[in-house]
Amino acid sequence: MFPLTPSAFVRPEKARDAARIEALLNAAFGIDRRQKKTVYKLRDGVDPVRELSYVVEYKEGAGGLRDSGTDEKLSSESQGLQAPQPLSPPAPSSGNEVAATIRYWPILLPSGAAGLLLGPIAVDEARQAEGIGASLMTFSMGQARALGYSSMLLVGDETYYGRFGFSRGVTKNLQLPGPVEEERFLGLEWAPGALSNEQGVIRKWPPGKLLPHYKK
């Protein structure tokens, strides 16, 4: 559990969150998103990376950050977090509100190396523009890096994701297995060349294949 404010914290996703996450995704992307989006060709039938699936939970009755005092604002430490934090068991959720979700999927880069597809990320409309999205992004990206991943891909607005280091430059020689608006196909590499040296089509993670971070 990682506190964002006295009333909100990041914690790993649990099975009991499934319905609420589905509702957040329906509200953000529509119930027909699986038919419309090429990224679902890489997600369908593949489990998200469990260690990178997080939610933001607000304690019961907690107001939004925009209505709260100075103490309730996201700290610069939480927004800038890079190092992985130990995650304690989930707090009791009775009456609490799950207000945001982020998940990542494993993918195969053209060379056969493991990659990560970031998303979906969604924040409850009532809690948007309060820094939750940025906190979830920064926290989970730090966790991914600590697990040993050297790059990430996503489809989204560069005006938002650019602030986290994503750009179009490293995906120029890559394609997704279906149509996508090219300017929204973004990547980030922590190891030089992890994406920019790749060329070809991104493929689905094979069923049963061990995720790279499980290898010792």
CA distance 172 to 170: 6
- Which parts of 177-196 interact with ligand COA (CB under 6 A)? none
Q: Hunting for tokens 């319905």 — which residue is that?
A: 19
Which among 54, 55, 53, 58 has a CA at the least distance from the CA of 5?
A: 58
Instruction: Give SS3 for 157.
Output: coil
In the complex with ligand COA, which residue's Cβ is closer, 160 or 212? Answer: 160
In the complex with ligand COA, which residue's Cβ is closer, 76 or 94? Answer: 76
- Smallest gap, in angstroms, from Cβ of residue 135 to ligand COA? 7
143 Cβ neighbours under 8 A, 6+ residues apart: 51, 52, 84
Q: Do 104 and 140 touch, CB atoms closer than 8 A? A: yes
Which residue of 123, 153, 170, 211 would you call a contact of ligand COA, by CB under 6 A?
123
In the complex with ligand COA, which residue's Cβ is closer, 29 or 190? Answer: 29
Which residue of 131, 140, 166, 194 would you call a contact of ligand COA, by CB under 6 A?
131
Q: What is the CA radius of gyration of the chain?
A: 17
Q: Is 98 in the site for ligand COA (CB under 6 A)?
A: no
Q: With contacts defined by CB under 6 A, name the span among 32-40, 122-130, 140-148, 208-216 that binds ligand COA.
A: 122-130
Q: With contacts defined by CB under 6 A, name the span among 12-20, 40-48, 152-160, 171-179 that binds ligand COA.
A: 152-160
Q: Enter the tokens of residue 40.
A: 């679902």
Q: Enter the tokens of residue 19.
A: 């319905």
Q: Is 28 in the site for ligand COA (CB under 6 A)?
A: yes
- Smallest gap, in angstroms, from Cβ of residue 159 to ligand COA? 4
Cβ count near 97 (within 10 Å): 17
